Every structure is written in structure tokens, then in C-alpha cells.
């Protein structure tokens, strides 16, 4: 059951081969067997999952069920789920039971899907290795001594190990694409504004975007169909029709113009990863595409720009965790200041504190112009580079991450080394563009992801480009040995 695609699962549920309750129980059993090893889930919602499955079965029997009805999935623990702990992997929110559903959760529930639980992540989505979680590190199913990537590492490990057929993730600087790359998944970060951020705990509001983490482009397209769309509760969501993303998956790639930014193939890129990406690009040539070298000259500004903008926004967003309204409160506060200081001091982990302090500094009077304003100007240059490139090419390709999965603990003492894990993904968030990572091969048994970046609202094109490659290759069908 757990090696079927979403459309195969849908067909089996609709023709009665198995029920949603049986399918859901199968996944709950797999979670039970493997979660101790992987630590991919923070919360497993067995009871409510089986209830949702039962409702889906009734709809299926009455022929009233939609395409995804009865199919289980997992949500990153950043999405508010009514009545269920929503921790953002922080001690701060360990006791927070969300009083409402995020729009993404609401829409997916309305499609009749079954929530298996909430997946582990870096604390408040800050990290590239899933080692900053209050609930402990997540292991990569391809090698449990290695990181799954972050911050959506729990979702990535869960889908890669077939503990869930598909999952949601969020991407502020790479957190869908980088773990997808390290775990052999298809992950899509849509255009900023394509999916509502309502009920998604904010990290950096101008960069955060939700998306699907899947075993194939087709599966990702099916979930994106449900996730995307305008929401009047998110003022930055865009009022624009949502196409059926599955309809154009098979379009021809004849004449597709692919740009390879020379800045994405320079120093710091592992030579074996580079060779894998080059082979994937060759495959696209055989599928009818033409290749052109391009330049994104301001690429070097992306990481420093991001590490001003994202901390600045998070220092503001996380100020609501004050020990008064949400989450952790210290014992016996002496006075209000003591309450704030100790609640926040105890509730937040080290990386979150580092970001809040950097962000507060960058926003303070006297430094604002030198850091925050400057970063916004750099952000514009980075966006302009992409628009310039899209005058000549349809999409941009390159590696998702500079290396394959690294060992647990390798970068935990060196924040800058960790930040560089997102060197190829961060620019697209700064520009608000859609980006995708798809399985492109293996180096020493570890997955390598190919990144595909499109212009605004080109999700359908990206999925089409990914799908055609997946028709011609079987990298995406490989499963990690211990989790067959």
C-alpha cells in the first residue's frame, strides 16, 4: 500500500480494494514501527485520523468522495490544527493547543484527507538540519547518522520512509526544497502569495510559503490543487485563479529554454553533486530543451541579505510569545519584566534567541539604515537579476543544496556553515519566486536534488518539467533500504 502514488491510492479507495480506515491503520502501524528511529513525528493523531478515515469511507461508499478523500497525510507542526498541539518544535509552544485550523489544514480537511499527525521540524522553522527541535533531531531514512535537512525535516523523513504518502512543509529560505533534496523527494515552494499563510506560525512573513512534499511531481500537483488559492484572512495571498495542476503535467518540453546560473556551479559545490546535476540537465536536452549559461550576479548577496531580513521579521513575529498570551510561562514570576524574561529565556532555544537578537539589533534606531534598509535594497537587486534572466530563459536549473546529507552534529557548532546549506535556495524566497527540488540521482547512496526555479505563478510549468523528467527516470521511485 505504501508504495502507491496518490492517484493509485485514490483509485484503490474508490474501487473498494481497501478502505481509508485500513489504509490509515497501515500508516499508523508504520509510524509506530519506525518513528522511534526517525523521530519524524512530534504528535501522532491516531484517534482523530481513524475518525476522519471512517467519514471518508462513508463518502466513498456513497460515491460522494473527491479525488483525495481518504488519503492520509502529515502536517508540519507549524500549521495550526484545532484541538491538537501545535508546537513549532519549541518548548515555548509545547503546551499550545491550537484553537483553530490553518487555512491549508481547513482546505485539506475539506478535501477529505486524513491527518496522521504533526511532523518534527527545526524550532520555529529556523535551521537546515532539523537539529534545533525541542523534541530532538530527526534522522535521515537514507542514513540514520545523517540529517534529513531542515526545517521541514520531519515531513521529509516521514514521506521518504513511507510513514505518510505526502506531507505539507513550509519554506522561508529553503525548508521544503533542501530537505526534499536530502531525502529524495519532490518538494515545491510556490510563488509567495499562492497559498494562504493564515494559521501558519509566522517566522519571516515576507518570505514564508507553504507547499507540498511528495514522492512525485504528480502527487505534488494533486496536493497543490487543494492548498492553493486566495484567502481573505491573509492580506498577502493573491487573488488569482488556481489551475488544475495535473492537467498540464504531460505537456511537451520541446523548445524549453533552461538557464544555468554560473554562480550556482562555483566554489562550495560538491563535484559529485555538480556531475549529477549536469547529467540531469543533459536528460532535459534529450527531452527537447535547450540550455544556456546565464548569470545571477547578485547571488553572493543572498545569504547575508536573508540573515538580516529573516531575523528582523522573526524578532517582531516572535514577540507575541511573551509568557502572557501563548505557551510557556515561567514559575513564580516576581514582576512583569521577570515574567517576560524568564518565560522567553526558558521557552526559546539557542538558534531562535540568536535570530531574535540579530533581528532586534538590525531594526534598532541607528542601525536600521545600515542593515535592514540596505538588506531591502539588496533584495531588490536579487529579484531584478531573476527578471533579467527570465528575459532569455523559461526556467532556471541548478543544484538544490551544495552537498548531500551531512552527518548529525557536523554543523551544529558553526551557524555560518549551517546557513550556507541554503545558498542556492534563499534567493528565490527573497524574490518571491516558485522553486522546486526533484530527485536527480545519488552520490555514495545519498540523494541529490535538482532545483528548478520559475517565474511568478509558473507552478504548473515547474510541475510539468518535473513530471516529464520523472517519466524518463526512476530516481524518485527509489526508497531507503530500511523502510521498504
Binding region for ligand GLN (CB under 6 A): 125-128, 151, 171-175, 203, 310, 422
Residue among 382, 388, 400 at smallest CA distance from 294: 388
Q: Which is nearer to ligand GLN, 196 or 425 (CB)?
A: 425
Please report how close the Cβ of residue 340 comes to ligand GLN at its closest, in angstroms: 25
Please report how close the Cβ of residue 420 comes to ligand GLN at its closest, in angstroms: 10
Rounded to whole angstroms, how far apart are CA atoms 244 and 224? 9
Q: Which is nearer to ligand GLN, 126 or 395 (CB)?
A: 126
Which grid coordinates are listed for 461? 510549468
Q: Which is nearer to ligand GLN, 165 or 402 (CB)?
A: 402
Phi first, then psi: give them for residue 233, nearest 5 degrees: -90, -5
Residue 49 half-sphere exposure, CB side, CA atoms within 13 Å? 25
Q: Spot the catalytic one: 12, 90, 129, 151.
A: 151
Active site residue 90: no
Strand pairing class (114-119; 41-44): antiparallel
Active site residue 51: no
Q: Spot the catalytic one: 19, 133, 175, 237.
A: 175
Q: Which residues contact 450 (CB under 8 A, 6 or more apart)?
A: 277, 280, 281, 397, 398, 399, 400, 437, 438, 439, 440, 469
DSSP state of 289: -
Q: Which is nearer to ligand GLN, 142 or 419 (CB)?
A: 419
Q: Which is nearer to ligand GLN, 115 or 128 (CB)?
A: 128
Q: Spot the catalytic one: 20, 76, 216, 343.
A: 76
Please report how close the Cβ of residue 377 comes to ligand GLN at its closest, in angstroms: 21
Please report how close the Cβ of residue 422 comes to ligand GLN at its closest, in angstroms: 5
**Is residue 441 left, alpha or beta, with left meaning phi > 0 and alpha meaning psi from -120 to 50?**
left
Residue among 76, 96, 74 at smallest CA distance from 86: 96
Strand pairing class (290-294; 209-214): unpaired
Active site residue 151: yes
Please report how close the Cβ of residue 121 comes to ligand GLN at its closest, in angstroms: 8
Catalytically active residues, by annotation? 76, 151, 175
Amino acid at each position: 500500500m505504501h508504495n502507491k502514488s496518490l492517484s493509485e491510492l485514490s483509485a484503490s479507495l474508490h474501487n473498494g480494494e481497501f478502505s481509508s480506515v485500513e489504509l490509515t491503520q497501515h500508516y499508523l502501524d508504520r509510524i509506530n514501527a519506525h518513528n522511534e528511529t526517525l523521530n519524524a513525528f512530534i504528535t501522532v493523531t491516531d484517534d482523530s485520523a481513524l475518525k476522519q478515515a471512517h467519514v471518508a469511507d462513508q463518502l466513498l461508499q456513497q460515491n460522494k468522495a473527491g479525488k483525495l478523500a481518504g488519503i492520509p497525510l502529515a502536517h508540519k507542526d507549524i500549521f495550526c490544527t484545532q484541538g491538537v498541539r501545535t508546537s513549532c518544535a519549541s518548548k515555548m509552544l509545547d503546551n499550545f493547543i491550537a484553537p483553530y485550523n490553518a487555512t491549508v489544514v481547513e482546505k485539506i480537511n475539506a478535501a477529505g484527507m486524513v491527518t496522521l499527525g504533526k511532523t518534527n521540524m527545526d524550532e520555529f522553522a529556523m535551521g537546515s538540519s532539523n537539529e534545533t527541535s525541542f523534541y530532538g533531531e530527526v534522522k535521515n531514512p537514507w542514513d540514520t547518522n545523517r540529517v534529513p535537512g531542515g526545517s521541514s525535516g520531519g515531513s521529509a523523513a516521514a514521506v521518504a520512509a513511507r510513514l505518510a504518502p505526502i506531507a505539507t512543509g513550509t519554506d522561508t529560505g529553503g525548508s521544503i526544497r533542501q530537505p526534499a533534496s536530502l531525502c529524495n523527494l519532490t518538494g515545491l515552494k510556490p510563488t509567495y502569495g499562492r497559498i494562504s499563510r493564515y494559521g501558519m506560525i509566522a517566522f519571516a512573513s515576507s518570505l514564508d510559503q507553504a507547499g507540498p512534499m511528495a514522492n512525485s511531481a504528480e502527487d505534488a500537483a494533486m496536493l497543490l490543487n487543494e492548498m492553493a488559492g486566495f484567502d481573505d484572512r491573509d492580506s498577502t495571498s493573491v487573488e488569482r485563479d488556481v489551475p488544475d495542476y495535473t492537467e498540464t503535467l504531460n505537456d511537451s518540453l520541446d523548445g524549453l529554454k533552461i538557464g544555468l546560473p554560473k554562480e550556482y556551479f562555483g566554489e562550495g559545490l560538491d563535484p559529485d553533486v555538480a556531475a549529477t546535476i549536469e547529467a540531469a540537465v543533459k536528460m532535459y536536452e534529450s527531452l527537447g530543451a535547450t540550455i544556456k549559461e546565464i548569470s545571477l550576479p547578485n547571488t553572493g548577496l543572498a545569504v547575508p541579505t536573508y540573515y538580516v531580513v529573516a531575523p528582523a521579521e522573526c524578532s517582531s513575529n516572535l514577540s507575541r510569545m511573551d509568557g502572557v498570551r501563548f505557551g510557556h510561562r515561567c514559575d513564580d514570576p516576581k514582576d512583569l519584566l521577570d515574567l517576560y524574561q524568564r518565560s522567553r529565556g526558558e521557552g526559546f532555544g539557542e538558534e531562535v534567541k540568536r535570530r531574535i537578537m540579530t533581528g532586534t539589533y538590525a531594526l534598532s534606531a541607528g542601525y536600521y539604515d545600515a542593515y535592514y534598509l540596505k538588506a531591502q535594497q539588496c533584495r531588490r537587486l536579487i529579484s531584478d537579476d531573476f527578471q533579467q534572466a527570465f528575459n532569455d530563459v523559461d526556467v532556471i536549473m541548478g543544484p538544490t543544496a551544495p552537498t548531500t546529507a551531512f552527518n548529525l552534529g557536523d554543523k551544529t557548532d558553526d551557524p555560518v556553515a549551517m546557513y550556507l546549506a541554503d545558498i542556492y535556495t534563499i534567493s528565490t524566497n527573497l524574490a518571491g519566486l516558485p522553486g522546486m527540488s526533484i530527485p536527480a540521482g545519488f552520490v555514495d547512496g545519498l540523494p541529490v536534488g535538482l532545483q528548478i526555479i520559475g517565474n511568478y505563478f509558473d507552478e504548473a510549468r515547474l510541475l510539468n518539467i518535473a513530471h516529464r523528467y520523472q517519466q524518463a527516470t526512476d530516481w524518485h521511485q527509489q526508497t531507503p533500504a530500511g523502510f521498504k
